[in-house]
Structure 1
Amino acid sequence: MDTSYFTIGMAGHIDHGKTTLTKALTNIDTDRLRAEKERNISIELGFAPLELENGVQASIVDVPGHERFIRQMIAGVAGIDLVVLVIAADEGVMPQTKEHLEILGFLGIERCIVAISKLDQVEQELLEIVEEDIKSELAGSIFEQAPFVYVDSLSGNGIIQLKKVISTELKSVEKRNSKGAFRLPIDQVFTVQGQGTIVRGTIYEGMIQKGSQLTIMPKGHRVKARQIQVHNKEVDVARAGQRTAINLGGGDKETIQRGDVLVNSDHFLRSKTIDVTMKFVDEIASPLKQRSPVRLYIGTSEVLGKIVFFDRNEMKDGSEEVVCQIRLEEEIVIRRGDRFILRRPTPVETLGGGWVIQPNGGKYRFGEKTIKMLQTKKAGTPEDLIQDVLSEQILLDKKKLIQLTSLDETEIDAAITAGLEKEMFIEPSSNKYALTRTLTKLKNEIIHELESYQEQYPMRQGMGKAELIQLLGKSYPKTFIDYCLSRLIAEDTLYKPSQFIAVSSFQPHLPKKWETRMKEVIKRLEDDGIKPEKWKEYIKETPLSEADANELSGYLLHTKQVYQLTEDILIHQSAVERALTDLKEQTGSSFKLNEAKDALGISRKYLIPLLELLDRLNITTRQEDVRVWN
């Protein structure tokens, strides 16, 4: 049977027996600090393994209950799958119980067990009152249907029943993804004499092997997993859901801190601006104004920032869900869907919480357009998110898609496969993807640009491919333009004469505006036969500009109506044909210069360039002072 790994949080008011209950379940005292022993309160997170039936292994996180240690509490419950809410039978619901409940709700913890502790210290009548108090507090919350278990940690009363209920509840909890990229938010850093730096945390996703190369984000330090432990037992592999300690090679305790994230891939990006959706507490002490300072708790990070609203200038109560943005003072590493808590730095209070829509937010305008955009992103499926990114980035490989959508590799693979089948996405080059609609848009732009160019320059063969790519390269990657051109050529929409690109229906032609004048120029050139004038002489008495004359000469050369005799002289194709006929009739298999002169009756001014033209056309080959017909 496959082993399943889960993390269970112990939450509740100070002195309600969370640590004692953890010891009763696991036989481990999670208060390990001297100050914790002396003051009989939990200051730091405590951890203990809990073996359950059917191959289920759980890590219990004992979080501090005192209001001064709320940061540690949030860091502890951020990665849990199930919470045991501990409420003392002799006190009932207390202020910290309520705040912990709010935080758990905002963090999206869906499974809860209410453990009424210190059972042996109260009479049945008081127990009934406490139970009603708890039910009243949970009414209307996500934990309204949470099962109740009555326990006494000192006598052991109810401990076996609590284990059974935990096993039952965990059957409904979805397993964490061990196949994706590894991510472990660090909540503890310390050194061990002779071993170096150790970091601890709960693996959010993926798996890690001994010897793995890792990166500490957001700093980017490269380290190596020299040794891995799960609850003090050395292992070769640790998976999502497990509480893990890693001995880092290359890591320095002074440069690592709680809130850093250990990863094994480049799928994660640093961020200082995050788009979020959140709910606020029912009563805020005073209105939260636009750009107010806030303290963000996400994963194990605690970062100061400012809240930015796009549809209001202040928030007064928690009556609705709000899409907004948090701009941070420091970089963090998060993914879409990560849950967070927002607190006011001063006066200290919990404001609310929610989840990350987009880890790398942009700068948006105030107004309904931005709200609609964020709402669309919030509701988006993986395919929708990929579409959004590709709408802006055009062509991306899988790694970039993972980074920019903040989806994991499994989600990306499934969405790409589905999108390719639906012809929503295309794969222009190996493992690079684009939108089909972007391809259609680019096709239309290419055809439009070529048609506009052909209208402006009707005598040219088409537009230079390099010029077209340069023009479109401001908006599209070259690889994508090449792919699109290849598709258009394969579809016979375009054709490619030499280095040019043209619409298939296009043929170079004289512009209607100058057609009559240009035909007159061509006729004069043809009439001059093998003794043409300089090209500018044919143009100077016409209204054609120098640019028009250059376009015309280019057109005539490309269409082989004329040949370049010298740098400034063109000769008509019919004149060359007549000269060839005369030469072949009056010479043998080879001829010398004087024989050609006698046959054609022209001076060396025209004769030498004409014979060199025949060589260039591969009609003749010069061998010293003789030319041989090919």
Structure 2
Amino acid sequence: MKTCCVVVIGHVDHGKTAIVRALTGIETDRLPEEKKRGLSIVPGYAHASYPSGIVDFIDVPGHEDFIQAMVSGASGARAALLVISATEGFRAQTLEHLEIAAALGIDEVLVAVTKSDLLATAEREDRMAQIRHALTETLLVDVEMIACSALTGEGLESLHSRLEALITQPSQRVAPPDAFLPVDRVFSLAGRGTIVTGTLTGGALASGAQAQLMPPGVPVTLRGLHTRGEERETVQAGERVAVNLRGIAVAQIPRGAVLWSGGDYRPSLCMDVALTRPARGAPTLKHNEQVRVLLGTASTVAQVRLFKTETGGGTYAQLRFQKPIVAFAGQRAVLRRLSPQQTTGGAIVLDPQSTPVRPNDTLRIALLAAVTRQDISGVAANLARAQGGAFSLKQMARLMRRSVEAVQTAFGQRLISLGPGLVTTQGNITDCTFKITTALTSYHIKHPLEVAAPRSVLSGLKVNPELLTHAETVALEIGLIRAHGKRLALSAHDPVSLLTPDQHRRMSELEAMFANAALTPPRQQDLAQDALDRDLMALLLDTGKLWSLPNIALGQTIVCHRDALDAAAAQLRGAFPPPLSFSTSQARSALSTSRRVIVPVLEYFDTQGITLRTNDLREMAPDFAVPPPDAT
């Protein structure tokens, strides 16, 4: 069944409620005060059935004191029926209601000139011409005007015909991918409990389904759905609906709450928006100005932070709220001055879950421009630039007003997963790999005698950590870089080949010193401690010619030549063939060394399975080879 939601707007006392009653047979003024005062205070609801479907009417208050109620009712509408009294013509609230409808993105408008039966033919023609002239200064230059009367029935047939035509027209309103119901009424019924009502946008709601109410962020169950007085199993987007909730009390539901199902809607204190055409005669918004934001059924105060674009204009802004508010990307809002109360224009929510940035943040401005164009490649590129080369699929889906699955389908194989919900592109991986190799190249130039660079050289790269890990893995797999323990180096980097003849000679002298010392190695502090010797010692250790062994008990480290360790293992095997056991003291005597040396040597042999330790005794393993210690 096709439906269309139409908001009935216009100046107070111009006959909105009467024309709805004439069209539907339903009285929308329900409150005693409304009947007593003869004007609408809260939105009223009615519907009319046609062969093509159903039109739901929202009769909103026309008095300027009830603008919030008017916006609340109009926010879910697809079209508007503008009611203008033939006896009074175009008035202040006629214009303001039109401007609010435009700010809310309601472009389809029908004009009903009511009370036409009260004017003579010539007077009626003059009034129609006056109204037409007034409309030329709005967006409704060529709109059809239908003269009608709720009392005589004149023009109602034409109105019915135009209204039915709206049902079959495709909606141009932006909607979220999942069910989103701004709550406009909350009450309870005996035997049923909590009831909320609203105009559904986005996806469908189903009885028995789970949903969330934000705020306060409470999970609820949909006990039942009612629309137009009938119980329903499902309700489609665009319909007025009453939802019976389980899991929450009436007192827990604040004004402006949203019932949603299936999406990623979260309360936020900061939203990025595009400012729409300001209301006629309204003052220009100022940076840091406090305004009232009417968004869905919510009314709250926010600070306007204007972005500084290249043209110096204020096309984009951040709204920073005093309390969390829920919205979806593409949702329309109305902005009003606090004092004097006046509609200043509208806003389109671009990112409902933004973060505060400076007004001259060029990356954010570029992102918002791409979001405005709904340029999926541009949005992805700007998110990646702002977030170190990677971005969240949920964030991308939110900005593009699509589901995560739709975003993945749009990109095909171009998205590469970095972890749950985090993606990048091949171009970003290539850029990150280039940054890694550039950082390593720079380090190798500054420290040519070091075999590898500490991973900390990559910490200065402005790259997402998951992307950095992925790009590093790719670079290792293709042989662009190599790992040296916990350090990294370009595969082409060979510090030995960069030594001068004098450096080669000195390194050979140092190596010979340790080779000749066997298991009585010199202490490092006893060696010449100039910068070159330190670099050459580190190079000997990195290339595996010297090995570093810690003596944990003494808090010391000894350095031995690798041949000395091979010889020591062979010597111990000859002195204590398995399964003959030996003590640390016996091993020290067999190798003619000191306790300072034998303890770290045996502990290293233990860790490598060369010796098998039981309490204070050891025996040699049947087969062994001496591997080098782990490089650091």
Give me the TM-score of the superposition, normalised by structure 2.
0.82
| 1:288-345 C-alpha deviation (Å, 9 max, x unpaired) | 6543332211211111233334559xx9xxxx97433333322211122221222222
Deviates more, 1:190-199 or 1:25-34: 190-199
Is 2:393 the counterpart of 1:398? yes
User: Shift in Å at residue 464 of structure 1?
Assistant: 5.9
Gaps of 5+ in 1: 594-600
- Find out whether 1:419 has 2:411 as its counterpart: yes
Contact 2:174 2:330 in 1 (8 A): no
Match of 1:428? 418
Distance 2:620 2:335 in 1: 94
2:276 equivalent among 275, 278, 281: 278
**1:175-207 deviations in whole A, cap 9, x for unaligned?**
778882211111111222332221111012112
1:325 equivalent in structure 2:
318
Mapped pair 1:164 → 2:164:
no
Question: 1:543/1:82 Cα in 2 relative to 1: closer, same or farther (>3 Å)?
Answer: closer
- 2:477 corresponds in structure 1 to 490
Q: 2:230 aligns with which of 230, 233, 236?
A: 233
Shift of 1:72: 1.0
Conserved? CA contact 1:181–1:409, under 8 Å: no
Q: How big is the shift at 1:508?
A: 5.2
Could you say which residue in structure 1 is the equivalent of 2:561? 571
Please say if residues 216 and 263 of structure 1, whose CA atoms lie closer than 8 Å, have aligned partners that are also in contact: yes
* Residue deviations 1:412-464 (CA, integer Å, cap 9, x gap): 5444433355x4x4323454312444323321222233334445565655346
2:507 to 518, 524, 533: 518
Task: Show the 5 A alignment for 1:133-532.
Answer: 133-174=130-171, 180-265=177-262, 267-276=264-273, 277-284=275-282, 289-310=286-307, 322-365=315-358, 373=366, 375=369, 378-394=372-388, 395-403=390-398, 405=399, 407-410=400-403, 412-420=404-412, 423=414, 425-429=415-419, 431-455=421-445, 462-463=452-453, 471=459, 475-496=462-483, 499-507=486-494, 509=496, 512=499, 514-526=503-515, 528=516, 531=518
1:48/1:61 contact within 8 Å kept:
yes
Name the residue aligned to 1:53: 51
Deviation at 1:505, TM superposition (A): 1.5
Q: Secondary structure at the match of 2:128?
A: helix
Offset from partner CA, 1:353-407 (integer Å, 9 cap, x none): 232233345444456959954556544524433433333334444334445x3x4
CA distance in 2, matches of 1:166, 1:197: 34
Determine if the alignment matches structure 1 residue 36 to structure 2 residue 34: yes
Q: What does residue range 523-542 of structure 1 map to in structure 2 within 5 Å?
A: 523-526=512-515, 528=516, 531=518, 533-536=520-523, 540-541=527-528
SS in 1 for 2:593: helix
SS of residue paired to 1:445: helix
> In the alignment, is the contact (CA less than 8 A) between 2:329 and 2:401 conserved in 1?
no
SS at match of 1:409: coil
How many residues align structurally? 600
State the Cα distance separating 1:115 from its structure 2 match: 1.3
Cα displacement (A) at 1:8: 0.6
Give the Cα separation in 2 of the matches to 1:578 and 1:70. Answer: 92
Alignment-derived partner of residue 598 in structure 1: none
What do residues 544-582 of structure 1 show as CA deviations (whole Å, max 9, x unaligned)?
578546514522xx53467979963623639957997x9
CA distance in 1, matches of 2:474, 2:440: 16
SS in 2 for 1:223: strand
Q: 1:243 to 1:624 in 2, by over 3 A?
A: closer
| Matched AA of 1:393 | Q
Greater CA drift, 439-448 or 184-193: 439-448
Kindly provide the amino acid, as one letter, of the partner of residue 592 in structure 2: R
8 A contact 1:383–1:415 mirrored in 2 = no
* In structure 2, C-alpha distance between the alignment counterparts of 1:293 and 1:537, rounded to whole Å: 69
Q: Does the Cα contact within 8 Å between 1:178 and 1:239 map onto a contact in 2?
A: no
> Is the deviation greater in 200-209 or in 168-177?
168-177
Whether the aligned pair in 2 keeps the contact of 1:279 and 1:321 (CA below 8 Å) is no
C-alpha distance 507-554 of structure 1, shift in aligned 2 (>3 A): same
Task: List runs of 5+ in structure 2 lacking aligned partners.
Answer: 552-556, 582-588, 625-632
Taking every aligned residue pair, what percent have the same amino acid on both sides?
A: 25
Q: SS at the partner of 2:277?
A: strand
CA spacing shift, 1:8–1:553, aligned 2, 3 Å: same
1:268–1:428 CA distance, 2 compared to 1 (3 A): same
Deviation at 1:81, TM superposition (A): 0.8
Counting only pairs closer than 5 Å after superposition, residues 537-548 of structure 1 correspond to structure 2 as: 540-541=527-528, 543=530, 547-548=534-535
Correspondence for 1:80: 77
What is the root-mean-square deviation in Å for CA atoms of aligned residues?
A: 4.2
* CA 507–160 in structure 1, closer or farther in 2 if over 3 Å, else same: same
Q: What is the identity, as a one-letter code, of the residue corresponding to 1:24?
A: A
